[in-house]
Amino acid sequence: MSEPLQVTFLWHMHQPCYRDPLAGEYDLPWTYLHAVKDYYDMAAIVEETDGARVVFNLVPSLLEQILDYAAGTAVDTFLLHAGMDPAAMTAENRRFVLDNFFSANRERMIEPYPRYLELLYLAGNGWREASDDRIRRFGDQEILDLQVWFYLAWTGEAARRRRPELRELLAKGRNFTPEDKRLLFHTHGELLREIIPLYRRLHEQGKAELSVSPYYHPILPLLCDMGSARVAMPRASLPGVCFRHPEDARAQVTLAMDYFSGVFGFAPAGMWPSEGAVSDEALSVMAGCGIRWAASDEGVLAASLSTGLGEGKRRLYRPYVFGGDGDKIALLFRDRHLSDLIGFSYSRWEAEKAAEDLVGRLVDIGKRFPGALVTVILDGENAWEHYPENGFAFLTGLYRRIAARPGLDLTLPSEALGRFRDPPLLSHVHPGSWINANYGIWVGHPEENVAWEQLERAREAAVTGSDQVAALLSASGVANSGIGGEDATAGLVLRRLYAAEGSDWFWWYGDDHFSPHSHHFDRLFRNNLIAIYRLLDMEVPRELFEPIKRITPAGLVREPATLITPRINGMVDDYFEWLGAGLYDLSRQSSAMHASESLLLCFFYGYDGHSFYFRVDSASPLEKMLRRGDVLRLHLLLEREFLLVMYAGSTEGEILVKDQAAWIGAGTRFQWRIGPVCEARVPLSAICPEKGRPLFAYLTLTRGDEEIGRWPTHAPMALTYRGPELELENWLV
């Protein structure tokens, strides 16, 4: 009988430090919300499911915040507004609640609950700025119901099943009382206090291996040597200063291990380096600190092997060892496709079919490579808001099927590594991350480069402004298993410096990611640096009071950065498919004319050498939002005006062109698909865009004979086209 396929799931649990170092308050609520929804649920599901065994990778900056909330010492602006008596609220307090307490996945977390959806409609169906008349529509009872529903919707499915009081609140649904609200937050407090003991218990039971990331989730290779970015990004424009501080990387790893050991009572064996970012120097730092295994992405492995991954990716499905004569560290590399199926695709499937599909893929790998090791790694919190029941049915079904299937073995890295004799040695690892096997998300864009330059200047100021800080930094910033030793000020300075090195601030700089909260991340980054100067009684540079994050006009988020060739199937298959596309935020362009205007949220566009591609995202799955007979029209204005008419139930049609006042067929067909999103492909030969000249676009939605929405409202979007040479001009950052 052949050896079973070993399968490892690693769920990466991470939040940056949201506590504003100047105000002392939590600026954003995501640690609390994901704690009661995901960090509790993910562990509870493993505990309750026979045969389930997984890795939970826990970032110390997250653990620190969970413990702060559990102790009741966290000051959170969202919780303060949730706890207010509606009768005592000012108009500004009510505006805050209406602007923020619908921050949840509409399809999975609002629409299933009639009262929550009713409140959304009452608030303008997702219109972000709460106008005075909308505020007046909300009486005290409506505000109270919204306070409860926001936090109730953010409560996990496993938690609901374990706690009858949560089910009672769900059943009641409306007309909540102050006592109901107190009960909800009392229950949340108990859940928060149970999270760390639950993970510790899973470790003791052998159902989970707990690993760690560097303390504040920095990109370790960039701390070690910013110049390493040039290996995979030779044309990138790097900051004007060379950030090279391997001692900071060592401090982030050492502090993480010390904090983890203090919380759980044992030292972690493994590490998911932030964003899977590795380099020779970063791996040497991890190995030197006592980490026995680490993990990254298959793209990094493919770039590290001169022979590639081989047929069927056979070289992916085994561990490796990195290191020379000194410390060695075992390396695992994730299967990107299997990981992305969970992260991006299976949420649209029926849970049992999704679980069976993944098991079938694992069985197929096991038949081809008996005894191999498949590693699946992804975020442990962000995918589940897109799943029914917070992913409960999918995860329990997946674990049970794998545990029961002959030929598959759910395993943990520390034990799996012992089953492989003489794993291949990697004397060199390609410097890169899980995204494009480079560091382009965190460095290379002007905004990111400015942030790195400000960070370097603040670090230099700390060194020159305090002998104690300088001594600690030269010694990796660690003293007596803590930060700063006996010098409290030096310790606070180092904490602010290391927090500012975190990856999340740089994630939201640049054009590749969009969030309505990006200005919060910008402010938190700069406030960490401001705190350094103030702690040392030094003048704060004026530049730190100016936002780094660029405010783009008229909804433009970014222009295309690379050629794209997405599949036209009405869904986003993986993270990379539209990463290099141009993006407009349609919600910024809406007016108060039509309630429907908030329904379309984002417009992506891009091209390759043959076709132009478009994608439209809505507030809920587009296939559900559109009614029978609804028509989505995309107008493209060049020398002539072209029209793409799209509707559910069909996937191909003729491009129309305006001939004086009439629309006539252009003689060329295009393809589209409407699913959760709308995607379309248009032959370049049909519209003949001219390099360097903008083409303009706008969308309309018609129902019957009435146009019920237009995006943008006042002026079309200006789309850029630079031809197939785009990748020679730009570097994706």
**pLDDT over 80 (residue 181):** yes
CB 536 within 8 A of CB 250: no
Q: Quick check: is 643 in a domain?
A: yes
What phi and psi, each to the nearest 5 degrees, are found at residue 108? -95, -25
Q: Quick check: is 341 in a domain?
A: no
Per-residue DSSP letter, 56: E
- Res. 556 pLDDT band, cuts 50 70 90: confident
- Res. 588 pLDDT band, cuts 50 70 90: low
In this prediction, residue 633 carries a pLDDT of 94
**pLDDT over 70 (residue 366):** yes
User: Which tokens is 618 given?
Assistant: 């809505």
How crowded is residue 92: how many other Cβ atoms within 10 Å of its Cβ? 8
**pLDDT over 90 (residue 238):** yes
Is pLDDT larger for residue 639 or for residue 206?
206
- Res. 597 pLDDT band, cuts 50 70 90: very low
In this prediction, residue 575 carries a pLDDT of 85
Q: What is the 3-state secondary structure (H, E, C) of 336-355?
A: HHHHHHHHHHHHHCCHHHHH
d(CA 17, CA 27): 9
d(CA 221, CA 622): 41
Q: Could you tell me if 656 and 544 lie in one domain?
A: no
- Res. 729 pLDDT band, cuts 50 70 90: low
CB 344 within 8 A of CB 574: yes
In this prediction, residue 510 carries a pLDDT of 86
Q: Which amino acid is at 529?
A: L
In this prediction, residue 442 carries a pLDDT of 96
CA distances from 474 to 33, 248, 626 (A): 38, 9, 61
User: Which tokens is 163 given?
Assistant: 């706690």
Domain closes at, from 517, 551, 585: 551
In this prediction, residue 589 carries a pLDDT of 47
d(CA 31, CA 637): 45
CB 395 within 8 A of CB 401: no
In this prediction, residue 585 carries a pLDDT of 87
Q: Quick check: is 456 in a domain?
A: yes
Mean pLDDT of the chain: 92
Q: Which of 481, 536, 486 is nearest to 251 (CA)?
A: 481
> For the chain, how big is the Rg over CA atoms in Å?
26
d(CA 118, CA 107): 14
d(CA 520, CA 621): 28
Q: Which of 194, 182, 378, 184 is nearest to 275 (CA)?
A: 378
Q: Which of 642, 599, 607 is nearest to 623 (CA)?
A: 599
Instruction: Determine the distance from the C-alpha atom of residue 23 to the mean position of all C-alpha atoms in its chain, rounded to a whole number.
Output: 26
Domain that holds residue 560: 556-729
Q: Could you tell me if 461 and 502 lie in one domain?
A: yes
Q: Could you tell me if 614 and 638 lie in one domain?
A: yes
Domain closes at, from 533, 551, 569: 551
- Res. 486 pLDDT band, cuts 50 70 90: low
Q: Could you tell me if 511 and 531 lie in one domain?
A: yes
**Mean pLDDT calculated for residue range 231-247:** 93
**Mean pLDDT calculated for residue range 184-203:** 98
42 membership: H or E segment, kind and range: helix 40-48
In this prediction, residue 668 carries a pLDDT of 93
pLDDT digits 0-9 by tens, 4-43? 999 999 999 999 999 999 999 999 999 999 999 999 999 9
Q: Could you tell me if 514 and 650 lie in one domain?
A: no
**pLDDT over 80 (residue 109):** yes
pLDDT digits 0-9 by tens, 648-704? 889 999 999 988 778 999 999 999 999 999 999 999 999 999 888 888 898 989 888
Q: Quick check: is 620 in a domain?
A: yes
Q: Could you tell me if 478 and 605 lie in one domain?
A: no
Q: Could you tell me if 546 and 655 lie in one domain?
A: no
Q: Kindly report whether the peptide bond that precedes residue 114 is cis, defined as omega within 30 degrees of 0.
A: no
Domain closes at, from 551, 578, 601: 551
In this prediction, residue 136 carries a pLDDT of 87
**Mean pLDDT calculated for residue range 84-96:** 96
Q: Which of 523-532, 554-563, 633-642 has the lowest mean pLDDT?
A: 554-563
Residue 604 belongs to a domain with what CATH number? Answer: 2.60.40
Q: Quick check: is 231 in a domain?
A: no
**Mean pLDDT calculated for residue range 535-542:** 96
Residue with tokens 């502090």: 255
Q: Quick check: is 113 in a domain?
A: no
- β-sheet bridge partners, residue 682: 612
- Res. 472 pLDDT band, cuts 50 70 90: confident
Contacts of 286 (CB under 8 A, 6+ apart): 220, 253, 271, 273, 294, 329
Q: How many CA atoms lie within 13 A of 351 on its CB side?
A: 17
**Mean pLDDT calculated for residue range 714-725:** 84
CA distances from 464 to 67, 406, 458, 485, 597 (A): 34, 63, 10, 19, 54
Q: Could you tell me if 722 and 596 lie in one domain?
A: yes
Per-residue DSSP letter, 437: T
In this prediction, residue 481 carries a pLDDT of 45
pLDDT digits 0-9 by tens, 299-315? 999 999 999 999 999 99
Q: Quick check: is 252 in a domain?
A: no
% of the chain exceeding 70 in pLDDT: 94
CB 66 within 8 A of CB 31: yes
Q: Could you tell me if 501 and 620 lie in one domain?
A: no
pLDDT digits 0-9 by tens, 261-293? 999 999 999 999 999 999 999 999 999 999 999
**pLDDT over 60 (residue 86):** yes
**pLDDT over 90 (residue 717):** no
Is pLDDT larger for residue 51 or for residue 134?
51
Q: How many residues does the chain have?
A: 733
**pLDDT over 70 (residue 554):** no
Q: Could you tell me if 613 and 530 lie in one domain?
A: no
Q: Which amino acid is at 52?
A: A
User: Which tokens is 222 given?
Assistant: 């960039």
Q: Quick check: is 68 in a domain?
A: no
**Mean pLDDT calculated for residue range 236-254:** 95
Report the domain count for the chain.
Answer: 2
**Mean pLDDT calculated for residue range 192-206:** 98
**pLDDT over 50 (residue 594):** no
Q: Could you tell me if 547 and 575 lie in one domain?
A: no
For residue 89, the SS3 value is: coil
Burial 630-659 (b: 16+ CB within 10 A, else e): bebbbbbbbeeebbbbbbbeeeebbbbbee
Instruction: Determine the distance from the C-alpha atom of residue 716 to the mean position of all C-alpha atoms in its chain, rounded to a whole number.
Output: 30
In this prediction, residue 160 carries a pLDDT of 98
In this prediction, residue 142 carries a pLDDT of 98
Q: Which of 473, 527, 733, 459 is nearest to 17 (CA)?
A: 527
Q: Could you tell me if 561 and 519 lie in one domain?
A: no
pLDDT digits 0-9 by tens, 604-624? 999 999 999 999 998 788 998
